[in-house]
Amino acid sequence: MGAGIAIAIVLVIVIIIIIIIVVVVSSSSTPAPGIDSKAPTTTPTSTTSAAAKPTSTTSAAAKLPASSTSTPLPTYTPPAAVTSSSIGLPTNWSNFKVKHSGKCMNVSGASRDNDALMLQWECAPDDNELFKYDPASKAIKIKLSDKCVDVKWGGTGNGTQIWQHDCNGSPAQQWVYENGMIKNPNSNKCLNVPDASKENGPLQIWDCGSGVDNDKWSFS
């Protein structure tokens, strides 16, 4: 009889434990009031994502090409060729051509001697027709003889002829270019073809501005 009572007690305890388990399981599966047990679970969006990736206000300026803000480099301009319009008389070997006849200044007989007359003559690329200006001395040098164009005997009167002579820096060998004319400041007269002749012949100095272009010169 004592064994039967013990078994009965065990059964009662087991039943109580089963009831407790059922109650606990049942209470854990019941949703709390006001909460939808079927509401979808969402991944919270970080509220700091926008702040974590700020848009730079200087990015546009930082990526501007340097040329938009820097001073542009100067454009290279090559030096002008030596012409009568840039510095006056040419400093490179050139023909001196008189306008009215189209002929050129020439050393008579292609001489290398002092006192050979200066002529107008048909133009040619010969050394007795090639001249250049020395700005330092204001002399017109002759390629053939390495002498200078000189007013004969240093004269200052109309009709004084022109010849070649050793370069000496004297006023008779100084020339300037004014208004298309080759002027000797010492005499205040210009290199001129007598009587505006178109024939081959000697040159002279005469009052500047004849009006018939026999004292107008160009260079080539």
Q: What is the mean predicted confidence (pLDDT) over 131-138?
A: 97
Q: What is the mean predicted confidence (pLDDT) over 46-68?
A: 42
- pLDDT reading at 171 higher than 60: yes
Q: Which residues share a beta bridge with 217? A: 98
- pLDDT reading at 178 higher than 50: yes
- pLDDT class of 67 with cuts at 50, 70, 90: very low
pLDDT in tens, 42-51: 444 444 443 3
Residue 195 inside a domain? The answer is yes
Residue 44 inside a domain? The answer is no
Range of the domain at 110: 96-219
* DSSP annotation of 216: -
Q: Which of 41-45, 78-82, 116-120 has the highest mean pLDDT?
A: 116-120
Instruction: Look up residue 169 and give its two tokens.
Output: 């820096």
CATH number at residue 164: 2.80.10.50
CA dihedral of residues 143, 119, 82, 206 (deg, nearest 10): 130
- The amino acid occupying position 155 is G
Residues ≥6 apart with Cβ < 8 Å to 82: 90, 91, 92
What number of other Cβ atoms are within 10 A of residue 170's Cβ? 15
- pLDDT class of 205 with cuts at 50, 70, 90: very high
Residue 51 inside a domain? The answer is no
Q: How far apart are CA 68 and CA 86, in angstroms?
A: 37
Number of structural domains in the chain = 1
Q: How far apart are CA 27 and CA 117, in angstroms?
A: 138
What are the backbone dihedrals phi and psi of residue 110, each rounded to the nearest 5 degrees, phi first?
Answer: 50, 40
Look at the pTM and tell me if it is higher than 0.75.
no
Predicted local distance difference test score (pLDDT) of residue 163: 98
- pLDDT reading at 78 higher than 90: no
Percent of the chain with pLDDT over 90: 59
Residues ≥6 apart with Cβ < 8 Å to 192: 203, 204, 205, 206, 210, 214, 215
Residue 25 inside a domain? The answer is no
Predicted local distance difference test score (pLDDT) of residue 19: 86
Residue 160 inside a domain? The answer is yes
